[in-house]
Chain A
């Protein structure tokens, strides 16, 4: 189930046997490490058994050496807040597994994840190597649990489950948002109560097996599991910050088109935000401050910014994330900040291995012809967990079929 642990174990076993260890060195690259080491020119990165083993070692003994010729090496980018692998065609009900009326705190959609989805190779075209998949949920404000996958397309590509609890606190079509706060606080207070009672009770009663929901809420109350709250309006953001304070939550804010109004408070509370770089319309009365400059403004206020896709860029066009980052830069975000917003910041917030180029990190890497945010730039090579992965998708096969001359009907061109 937890592939990541298995792969660590596997690499440990492989490492003990030099025969299996193929060493790849990428030399002469412009490396955005996204660590304190900054950006290195003409650098060498060595990977072995899925892990980055050295940067600029004194000497390199590699089985495969790739001369980057000054091209740009970045960590694989990380998608988030979408339904990758849970929805193939949005309008086809039988291909949708991201939501359920009965979904609640303990809704884990990861068993429904399809690593063979046609969206995954297409996502790789944008240099996306991992993705935080989130459920749609159902009738409850608790939408379920996020999980993390890589984009290898392998059957073991779920890396981590129970990554975060998703909560929707945005205005709904009916009822009052005040009821949502009541629901949220009562749920958390209820679990707090159980935990304190449990500590007082005798051994026999305390031994009663807790439910999945209770286990999750306990992890949330201990700050072990992040809580991602979808919210837009500034006053709602402040209200959610109060809930964080009251229960000691490990809070992540998502959506937050009005966040710039309360950026100091968000920074002070040390709460990261996930936003879309291209959201700039007042889509509702809760998001009147949506603007292309928001990513940069939040960054300058000291808020940790994560970028996720927007509407059609969601899961189907995950590849667009790098262009969104470019648009954020065009409107005032720092270049390094934008790189982090699509990689290391996401890894940090959701405790993933990846998103940085450093010794000991998982080898999710992308070699770009030039600036990864620019349209003219090509993705030249992509590694997921140290394996070089193809970026060909069925879209390429379709294009080739209809652009290749043949005497036979198109259906014979494969």
Chain B
């Protein structure tokens, strides 16, 4: 990988910086708080729960029959046959299936909530092609009834993204799907931030329509390159400052820029790219762009043409977050194949993810995966439930940088678990019980565990 080479401008800037410093007593060090809106999420109080005799899909490629799962202290404590453990609650899951909590890497819940009235359109800062300074967490309305509907479909974790009007749309946030009056109360502790980027038709349509750049796809690329060049200089200026200060000098801190803070976070490897990018040739160019500026190009979302460059994505370590079947709403969505996810998944070291981008299909990501599995099998693939579940659990967690914490049924992981009434890849399947960190957050048969948003309270 090509290291960043300081440009002439950066060198000039450094010289200016060094010129400003005096040798007097050091002023207080200027540091940037990288977590000014920290998570206040606390797992709901939970006893221990023993689920017995279930068919367990681990999320990492295994199907375990007649298996018990013990949830204790918010963690998956044991997985195995005929566990001798005692628990506060024991659930006979004979005939039922257990999966990791379902993860949607692409949601706009809270930012485009229901009801979808004008006052609620908070997902797309359509004012400049680069709005890396906006953080979608500042738009999330935790009372969106869609969160509850998604939980009823087994969604335990979801990434909220800003929209795709801009080259850089802003920061994403990863949430635990728990009811809370505040965004911070839902925020997934220590999950990395994401940066939403968008290729192709959206930015050029939104800004080209106004007669400003970008007007074309080449204008899109020019916009990304200019931004990363600026971010590299910003990063360098802060590093110069930190180094000079550490050397006992008294430099002036660079001027704070919230927009560049986000881009710098990507260059520092702290913020993950989530790139709305449909077409094969554009995904390839975005990979080259990331190499030009020395960052990782992350996850491609909506990659309708990912199947055309499946090898390239795997080689470069990109996840591809895809639909089973959306297509035809614009030219970049015309070359859909329903086997897209399966083709991407078939390549070694790949990371195929099924995402929703919808307040409706987020309620049935298991069905979305089922469609792909069955269509692909009819086309000659031989996929099983234990393969397909990865697309909405482990691989999704990997895309969000939280696979060490959630996304599989494995000892020591957070107890984010769904019990399904039958094979979750049946059209008739329903989630019966949903746990987040071992706490029951939804029960199909017990109203006590059926959350109602403030908005819906008293409405019907």
Contact = CB atoms under 8 A, between A and B. Distances in A.
A92 interface: yes
Interface stretch (B50-58, B182-190, B335-343, B432-440): B335-343
A336 interface: no
A375 B427 contact: yes
A33 to B, nearest CB: 23
Contact of A326 (B145, B328, B333, B428): B428
Interface string B367-383: 10011011000111000
Q: Which 5 A-B pairs have the closest CB atoms?
A: A326-B427, A91-B330, A316-B328, A90-B329, A399-B337
Given A326-B427, A330-B428, A399-B339, A282 B331 contact: no
Nearest to A330: B428
Interface stretch (A60-68, A198-206, A284-292, A341-349): A284-292
B115 interface: yes
A103 interface: no
A269 interface: no
Given A92-B330, A92-B331, A403 B115 contact: no
Nearest to B346: A403
Contacts of A317: 325-327
Contacts of A402: 307-308, 310, 337, 343
B287 to A, nearest CB: 18
A281 B343 contact: no
B343 A403 contact: yes
Interface string B243-275: 000000000000000000000000000000000
B367 A89 contact: no
B94 interface: no
Contacts of B328: 88-90, 118-119, 316
A274 interface: no
Given A320-B325, A330-B427, A282 B339 contact: no
Contacts of A320: 325
A376 interface: yes
A410 B339 CA distance: 17
B116 A284 contact: yes
A89 B307 contact: no
Given A281-B359, A375-B371, A330 B336 contact: no
Given A375-B374, A402-B308, A402-B343, A278 B360 contact: yes
B201 interface: yes
Interface of A: 88-92, 118-119, 278-285, 288-289, 310-312, 316-317, 319-320, 323, 326-327, 329-330, 373-376, 378, 395-396, 398-399, 402-403, 410
Contacts of A89: 328-331, 333-334
Given A284-B117, A288-B460, A330-B428, A376 B331 contact: no
A90 B115 contact: no
Interface string B303-347: 000011010000000000000011111110111111100010000
B35 interface: no
6 contacts: A90-B328, A281-B359, A282-B115, A288-B456, A320-B325, A402-B307
Nearest to A91: B330
A329 B427 CA distance: 9
Nearest to A119: B328
B306 to A, nearest CB: 10
Contacts of A288: 456, 459-460
Interface in B372-424: 373-374, 378-380
B425 interface: yes
Nearest to B357: A312
B42 interface: no
Contact of A310 (B360, B370, B426): B360
Interface in B62-116: 114-116
B330 A90 contact: yes
Interface of A is mostly: loop
A373 B427 CA distance: 7
B149 interface: yes
B146 A329 contact: no
A203 to B, nearest CB: 54
Interface string B287-315: 00000000000000000000110100000
B179 to A, nearest CB: 16
B333 to A, nearest CB: 8
Contacts of B327: 316-317
Contacts of B456: 282, 288
Nearest to A400: B379
Given A91-B329, A316-B327, A281 B114 contact: yes
Contacts of B201: 91
Nearest to B369: A375
Contacts of A316: 326-329
B360 A282 contact: no
A316 B327 CA distance: 7
B77 to A, nearest CB: 32
B172 to A, nearest CB: 22
Nearest to A322: B427
Contacts of B37: none
A375 B367 contact: yes
Contacts of A284: 115-117
Nearest to A279: B360
Nearest to B373: A375
A323 B116 contact: no
B429 interface: yes
Nearest to B360: A278
A216 to B, nearest CB: 31
Contact of A283 (B116, B310, B373, B455): B116
Contacts of A310: 360
B421 to A, nearest CB: 9
Contact of A282 (B343, B374, B459): B459
B331 A91 contact: yes
B151 interface: no
B235 interface: no
Interface string B215-236: 0000000000000000000000
**Residue from the set A319, A320, A373, A376 with the largest chain B CB neighbour count within 10 Å:** A376
A398 B325 contact: no
